[in-house]
Structure 1
Amino acid sequence: MNNLIRFKQSDLARITNFRNGEVKFGEKMTIIPIDDDVTEFITNSESKYVLLGIPEDVGIRANLGRAGANTAWESAIESIANIQHNRFCKGSAIIILGQVDVFQEMEEAKKMDQNNPEERKQLFKIVEQIDKEVSHIIFSIVKLGKIPIIIGGGHNNAYGNIKGTALAKGKAINVINFDAHSDFRILEGRHSGNGFSYTYEEGFLKKYFIFGLHESYTSKSVLDTIKNLEDRIRYNTYDEIKIRNQKNFAQEMYQSLEFIKNDSYGIEIDLDAIPNIASSAMTMSGFSVEELRQFIYFFGKNQNASYLHICEGAPSLGEEKNNHLIGKLIGYLITDFIKGNSQI
């Protein structure tokens, strides 16, 4: 696997807070020895999940959004390392692979003015390069029979997750996306707002369900596009579930699962769907953290759940004294997924 910065045992020891009488995830998660072949090690490992970070916000910049999502990986891995290893959830289920090496892409992106049309086109090209790297790594993980857990980064990385998984499975996959936005915008060049429309157009995305779309932030053109593709793309809205009480949250989870469950599917989580979570498109109105946790547990509890992607969290945009909270939230979400998925 090229373009990968592998996580080392010394990295894990540095971020794990050891305490007498306690066993932390950081003491039990698997690290691939530096001299070992990555593919061979993962193949022979009994651990089911492979943790990967994508510390970038190039796709968000290309989408004219606020940068900062590149900081989620560092915050999350530190929180994950300090989760208690116990009978409810075991750190030994996880291999920490490391992070996609996006240093050069980030340095180039920082020099660009996203409001300049020509420089924005250059950002599109940089996102395409990241797409290739993510697709290859996800393909390799899924092909080895493991389940990737990906921490972004922007939602542009849904493209690489979907394409890599579809190529490994040998067919298009389905996706459930917990998001305030469709990310099914026009094919104007790659960014965080069109990862799903690109994978649909290229034949990697079969069925797509958007859970909790915000009505006030979805364009007429996107709604018209989805309406014309309703046999393969469906949605519900946050407003009809939580504001007008026209639909029930639990029933909607069951119905959307019915739509996607017969094929391999990815679980995409955009943290901008949760109120007061620092992100590129931070919101004051949305589902609760508890509802998101229930959602991840529910969709993880199926044999066709093929990956989990948590994106758009931006600790650097949050309160300075509490910027660890996004990492802690991501830790909760990952253990909820594992708890559900381990029942299979």
Structure 2
Amino acid sequence: MKNFNLFTPKDCAKLINVRKGESKFGEHIQLIPNLTNIYDSISVLDVDYVVFGIKEDIGIFANYGKPGASRAWDATVKVLLNVQNNRFNQADKVLILGHLEYSGLKEALTKPGLSHKKSIKEARKMVEEIDKDVTYLVNCIIRAGKTPVIIGGGHNNSYGNIKGAALALNKKINVVNFDAHSDFRPEEGRHSGNGFSYAYAEGFLKYYFIFGLHKNYTSESLFKTLNKLKDIQYASYEDMELNTTLGFQEALEAGLKHVNNSLFGLEVDCDAIERMPSSAMTPSGFSSLQARQFVNFFAKQPNVTYLHICEAAPTKKTESQVGKMISYLITDFIRAKEN
């Protein structure tokens, strides 16, 4: 894969802060020194989880959003490798595979003479190329009997996750999405706002539950679409946290009831976490604790197929904060599945 960068032992060693008397996560993870065939390399390894990053924000740009999500992977892996490896964090079950990167495609969007309208059109074509890579990687990992943990990029990558999983399992899959937005916009060219609508229209997504939808950022036409489709349900943030007509735990149970009849993917959009540096950072959203509770709850279910954490957009000042938060979610997910 031309856009894939393998995470090597040398890369790992550069990032681990060794400390006497401590055992770090990065000292016990598994790595692939050389990669020829992804499926063959993964299937023979005694690991349960395969972590990879997506360094892109082209899908967010294509949706008229703010860039920065391409930096989430680097911020995360730096922290994840340095969490403690102990009885609660069993790093030997984890393979860090590497990351997809699209700096060349992104540079093409800034060509002199390219209008904003044409840039958007080009970006949407580029997202289709990213879709192919994500689909392939997720498909290989699931066919190999492992659980993908996908970090970074825009929520456009939900499409590749869903398609890759559906093709690997030879059936439609369900999804529960922790998000302020439905990402069910019209099929107007691929971008971060329509990954789920494309996956649904193309027959890869069956039941879809949106956890925490914000009423201020969902159009009336979109509400009409969501309300007429029986395969889609949602619990709004306002009903849970403002009007309290629906409890947080009650919403978790409703989401589980909707998707747990079959295998499902777990999507976490960092836009839904209050003051989390992200492409659409919100001053009013779920707490970091609630995000962790959400992941912990669904990760305990035998039917969960993958975890995707997206849309975080760290700066130099906030990269540690973002890396720590995403690392908490990753280790919460693995710990809950193991227990």
Q: Distance in 1 between matches of 2:166 and 2:40?
A: 22
* Aligned position for 1:261: 260
* Aligned position for 1:180: 180
Q: Distance in 2 between matches of 1:165 and 1:4?
A: 19
Q: Deviations over 1:34-92 (max 9, x none)?
A: 26754333112121000010000000000000111000000000010001000011111
Instruction: Within 5 Å, give how 1:272-287 maps onto structure 2.
Output: 272-287=271-286
Instruction: Within 5 Å, give how 1:15-30 maps onto structure 2.
Output: 15-30=15-30
* Aligned position for 2:302: 303
Count of residues in correspondence between the two structures: 339
* Aligned position for 1:239: 238
Q: Which amino acid aligns with 1:338?
A: I
Q: Distance in 2 between matches of 1:181 and 1:18?
A: 41
* Aligned position for 2:163: 163
Instruction: Within 5 Å, give how 1:97-116 maps onto structure 2.
Output: 97-111=97-111, 116=116
Q: Distance in 1 between matches of 2:115 and 2:3?
A: 29
TM-score between both structures, scaled by the size of structure 1: 0.95
> Could you tell me whether the CA contact under 8 Å between 2:138 and 2:148 is conserved in 1?
yes
> Could you tell me whether the CA contact under 8 Å between 2:51 and 2:95 is conserved in 1?
yes
> Could you tell me whether the CA contact under 8 Å between 2:56 and 2:70 is conserved in 1?
yes
* Aligned position for 1:338: 334
Q: Which amino acid aligns with 2:328?
A: Y
* Aligned position for 1:327: 323
Q: Distance in 2 between matches of 1:288 and 1:311?
A: 16
Q: Which amino acid aligns with 1:142?
A: I
Deviation at 1:275?
A: 1.1
* Greater CA drift, 178-187 or 33-42: 33-42
> Could you tell me whether the CA contact under 8 Å between 2:59 and 2:124 is conserved in 1?
yes
Instruction: Within 5 Å, give how 1:1-344 maps onto structure 2.
Output: 3-34=3-34, 37-111=37-111, 116-229=116-229, 231-316=230-315, 320-343=316-339
Percent of aligned pairs with the same residue?
A: 47
- CA gap of 1:189–1:36, structure 2 versus 1, over 3 A, is closer
Deviation at 1:111?
A: 3.9
- CA gap of 1:183–1:92, structure 2 versus 1, over 3 A, is same
> Could you tell me whether the CA contact under 8 Å between 1:79 and 1:331 is conserved in 2?
yes
- CA gap of 1:275–1:158, structure 2 versus 1, over 3 A, is same
* Greater CA drift, 70-79 or 247-256: 247-256
Q: Distance in 2 between matches of 1:341 and 1:106?
A: 36
* Greater CA drift, 27-36 or 7-16: 27-36
- CA gap of 1:309–1:112, structure 2 versus 1, over 3 A, is farther
- CA gap of 1:241–1:9, structure 2 versus 1, over 3 A, is same
TM-score between both structures, scaled by the size of structure 2: 0.97
> Could you tell me whether the CA contact under 8 Å between 1:112 and 1:120 is conserved in 2?
no
Query: What SS class does the counterpart of residue 186 from structure 1 fall into?
Result: coil
> Could you tell me whether the CA contact under 8 Å between 2:35 and 2:41 is conserved in 1?
no
CA RMSD after TM alignment: 1.5
Q: Distance in 2 between matches of 1:268 and 1:309?
A: 5
- CA gap of 1:304–1:110, structure 2 versus 1, over 3 A, is farther
Query: What SS class does the counterpart of residue 182 from structure 2 fall into?
Result: coil
Deviation at 1:107?
A: 2.2
Q: Distance in 2 between matches of 1:242 and 1:114?
A: 44
Q: Distance in 2 between matches of 1:291 and 1:197?
A: 26
> Could you tell me whether the CA contact under 8 Å between 1:69 and 1:313 is conserved in 2?
yes
Q: Distance in 2 between matches of 1:113 and 1:299?
A: 48
> Could you tell me whether the CA contact under 8 Å between 1:279 and 1:314 is conserved in 2?
yes
Deviation at 1:254?
A: 1.1
Deviation at 1:103?
A: 2.9
- CA gap of 1:5–1:63, structure 2 versus 1, over 3 A, is same
